Amino acid sequence: MDLNLLTREDEFTWRVEPHGDMRVPAVLYADEALIRDMDHKVYEQACNVAMLPGIVKASYAMPDAHWGYGFPIGGVAAFDPKQGGVVSAGGVGFDISCGVRTLTTGLRREDVETVKSELAKILYYTVPAGVGSTGKIHLDDREMDAMLAGGAQWALERGYGRTEDLERTEEHGRMPGARPEQVSPHAKKRQRDEMGTLGSGNHYLEVQHVTEIYDTGIAAVYGIRPGSIVLSIHCGSRGLGHQIGTEFLKRMALAAGQYGITLPDRELACAPIESPVGEAYLGAMRAGINCALANRQIITHLARQAFAKVLPPADLRLLYDVSHNTCKVEEHEIDGQTRPLFVHRKGATRAFGPGHAEVPPAFREVGQPVLIGGSMGTASYILAGTNESERRAFSSACHGAGRAMSRHAATRQWKGGRLVNELAERGIVIRSPSMRGVAEEAPGAYKDVSAVVDAAQQAGLARKVARLEPVVCIKG
């Protein structure tokens, strides 16, 4: 990105003043090197989002931002329904409620070292991964609707997981306002056999060890210790979320025209929040959130079964489950007034700070765990929400490393089998049904997650707590 396009507000804050049809500024958070390397498309897309009706304060880009469909991935934008605000399917993303869930295991690095290949094998055969992967759970129409309304709570009622998992899940495992009847029969059909599966792309199930603690106090509250083993699950709402996104993009393109909304980019298809299509999308999208929450809950149950076979002393306790592809109604302060806003986070993690009522009581004093997934073979991070993040980006932070190269370019540069061998030499066991997928996910195709996380911390979006490095990675 050309630095001349931006006004540097401070070392980690870059601003584009409103010009043309922009209603608010665009604000990018990153260090200079990340901004230089950032795709020019992020500039264009962040500015385009700033043109949408009812947007308040600014259109934001996180340090891991890259080119997405309409909105940048790593984009945050909030809309006020009382000012003609809109909801956009492209502002949530195709993988509705994609997110990360991390569990502590009570194990130490040395406990898994000798059994990691066996553990990888059993996890791989227990949790289906890959394009079109299906599981052992099959939902009829009635159960599908119950799942879409009940989320992780539904999963728990069916025997997948422990009661205490829910208090460590965003929305207590169940997103209110879901309207299963707004989800098309086709979207439901696609999901029928996909519960408890990882899917593909950047999704993974990873056994990680804690290599560094940055904040001892918060780490203690989170139950994270140096040298301990954790399990992280990164996945979303599978075929159902994708189908909802696809269908509503079309409906919103028509609606935008009907409501006289001029779109700077047709990919920014949107509808007024207070319109039949807007309300239908919100109901379907919330059902999609419940699908993702139920999916990660079932995978948790399957992972516990796998661990019990290889490492019976393991006790997998949920640290937290947080999404990074959502649109949620939240109270935020605008011009000294607290108002309900529709906050779109696409490739951006909610990051509520200390004292926020939505943060589980156990973490209330230190802020919400913010789970940042790295790329395959690289570090992941646990951060904590800050109060500063509220005024910086509606309490949001980055979500991962962010792609630096297209999937196609990555497959030209790397071979999956070779990557697996190289990572094995570094002690990391990879299992995946697709070597092409592994090549697409080559660590070199991503930005440096450490630089991204440092920038997020320096910009005040979240605070570093711990660094995690992979031991076993089941890759979709």
Partner DNA sequence: ATGTCC
Binding track, positions 130-169, relative to DNA; x by CB under 7 A: -xx-------------------------------------
Alpha-carbon distance of 413 to 401, in angstroms, equals: 19
For residue 104, give the nearest of 228, 235, 234 by alpha carbon. 228
Tell me if 374 sits within 8 A of 401, measured CB to CB.
yes
Are 198 and 129 in contact by the 8 Å Cβ rule? The answer is yes
**Distances 251 to 77, 91, 246, 277, 325 between C-alpha atoms, Å:** 21, 15, 9, 7, 20
Quote the least distance from Cβ 201 to DNA, whole Å. Answer: 2
Indicate the residue among 73 and 370 with the shorter CB distance to DNA: 73
Of 202, 208, 297, 378, the one binding DNA (CB under 7 A) is 202
User: What's the residue count for the chain?
Assistant: 476
Among 116, 158, 203, 286, indicate the residue that binds DNA (CB under 7 A).
Answer: 203
- Residue list 234-263, contact with DNA (CB under 7 A): 235-236, 238-239, 242-243
Among 71, 94, 307, 414, binds DNA (CB under 7 A): 94
Closest CA to 150 of 121, 180, 193: 180
Smallest Cα–Cα separation from 344: which of 45, 94, 27, 71?
71
Piece of the chain touching DNA by CB under 7 A; list 84-92, 201-209, 329-337, 444-452: 201-209
Q: Quick check: 101 binds DNA (CB under 7 A)?
A: no
194 binds DNA (CB under 7 A): yes
Which one of 57, 188, 190, 209 is in contact with DNA (CB under 7 A)? 190
Residue with Cβ nearer DNA (200 or 389): 200
If the CB atoms of residues 72 and 353 are measured against DNA, the closer one turns out to be 72
Contact pattern from residue 319 through residue 358 relative to DNA, giving x for each residue in contact according to CB under 7 A and a dash for the rest: ----------------------------------------
Q: How many CB atoms lie within 10 A of CB 117?
A: 13
If binding is defined by CB under 7 A, does position 64 make contact with DNA?
no
Please state, in angstroms and rounded to a whole number, the distance separating the CA atoms of residues 2 and 334.
31
As a whole number of angstroms, the distance between CA 425 and CA 255 comes to: 54
Q: Are 208 and 138 in contact (CB under 8 A)?
A: no
Backbone φ, ψ for residue 53 (5° rounding): -60, 140
**At its nearest, how many Å lie between DNA and the CB of residue 9?**
30
Size of the site for DNA (CB under 7 A): 23
Please report, as ranges, the residues that interact with DNA according to CB under 7 A.
94-95, 98, 131-132, 186, 190, 194, 199-203, 235-236, 238-239, 242-243, 407, 434, 437, 476
